[in-house]
Structure 1
């Protein structure tokens, strides 16, 4: 049963992701760029590149590549950190905030479509169960997990 459950869970997650990727394509963003933009916009104030890499759980070089692409599209800006000249701060532009809002709607729409066969009560139960799983994973990793504003 657990193998079936894992397979079903993974298939549903892949369907949600596929729907998101299809809807994000017109924005010209990869899923990784979308995720980075969500983190940058969801942070109060500017974010150090090293902190972005840590929050995304990627190496700093990969964060630089993501920010390069976001900056080229006018979604973020970089500036020297006045407290540490060796560090760079990243902050969203107005366009970046607008695109993040579009991403949020796109993600919700994709999830809504995949979860549409469930009743409101079933969706709430699923949310509760996934919250328990997510909380247990946070305990395993020794760090709190928080859901972004999606």
Structure 2
């Protein structure tokens, strides 16, 4: 599965969101967008990562970044997750994994020493022009947001 690299044009998408609306990447043109892909709502690692983004959201937004989380979970599960964890940014549902695949965030990965097919925990930062500024794959749930903030020069 090809992964996005710095300078690539980020593939556009329009996905249903946990709040009952839809979100198109093209609607965010002109802003920097942090798109993070996570395997499953309400699991320990994904909760840690989502809450880290929640806790950093105000400072990311103040620095000009919009945060969007994407998983293959259905919209109702994402809505429960957003409510349970007081998540303040959009969560988008990609049940057919077409966006995950287009962004290189779905494919073979190692899980407990076995090769499996699934969501690859990833974060991509898209610039105002729609081009990839940062592409990080196989990130760890714990500590990832702090590292991303350092990489973006926000700490």
Same fold, judged at TM 0.5 (above): no
Report which of the two structures shows the higher radius of gyration computed on alpha carbons: 1
Bigger relative contact order (CA 8 A; separation at least 6): 2
TM-score with structure 2 length normalisation? 0.30
Q: Which structure is higher in helix share?
A: 1
Structure showing the higher strand proportion among its residues: 2
